[in-house]
Copies of this chain bind each other. A is one copy, B any other.
Amino acid sequence: MKYYNYETFKNDTNKLLLLLREHDFEAIVTVARGGFTLAHAVSQGLNIRDVQSIRTELYDKDKKREKIKLFQKCDFRNLKRVLLLDDISDSGETLSAVMGYLKEEFKEIEFKSATLFYKKTSMYEPDFWINEVDDWIDFFWERDFLEDKTIS
């Protein structure tokens, strides 16, 4: 497990921005909680003020397999291109479910997805990603705010 620090995030996000700039996205939607820091940075980098979030919960539908339920639906009006952001496409189930909802609910909008990390075993490959990874990532936002953290 590798610690993913802010400086590396900054460089990766700026690389991602180079891929995203030409696409004229008008709004960003991200998945709570993992995508929030990236969505903030990308919204600044692309100068997009319309940033929305979706929350997902896993639940056992029939005790055989987990299903994903979505909360806080989006509100896009008269938009053409919207960017879906998350930190990682790990199993890919969340991004696949969210993208499915977005495309079904807003048929007139073109959605593209972007992540910092992509696992080859993921069932969903984002349109844009920066790093391919096999291992678990220890993101700075998961490490730096734990209860036993010393405050300098």
Q: A: which residues have CB within 8 A of B?
A: 6, 10-11, 13-15, 17-18, 21, 32-33, 36-37, 39-45, 49-53, 55, 57, 71-72, 74-75, 141-142, 144-147, 149, 151-152
Contact = CB atoms under 8 A, between A and B. Distances in A.
A19 to B, nearest CB: 12
Contact of A49 (B18, B33, B72): B33
A141 B11 contact: no
Given A17-B147, A32-B53, 14 more contacts: A13-B145, A14-B144, A17-B145, A21-B147, A32-B52, A33-B51, A36-B37, A36-B39, A36-B40, A36-B51, A41-B141, A44-B145, A52-B55, A72-B75
Contacts of A10: 144-145
B40 A141 contact: yes
Given A11-B152, A21-B147, A43 B33 contact: yes
Contact of A32 (B6, B18, B21, B51): B51
A151 B14 contact: yes
A39 B30 CA distance: 13
A21 B40 CA distance: 24
A22 B146 CA distance: 15
Contacts of A147: 17, 21, 45
A71 B53 CA distance: 11
Which of A14, A71, A74 has the most chain B CB atoms closer than 10 A to its own CB? A14
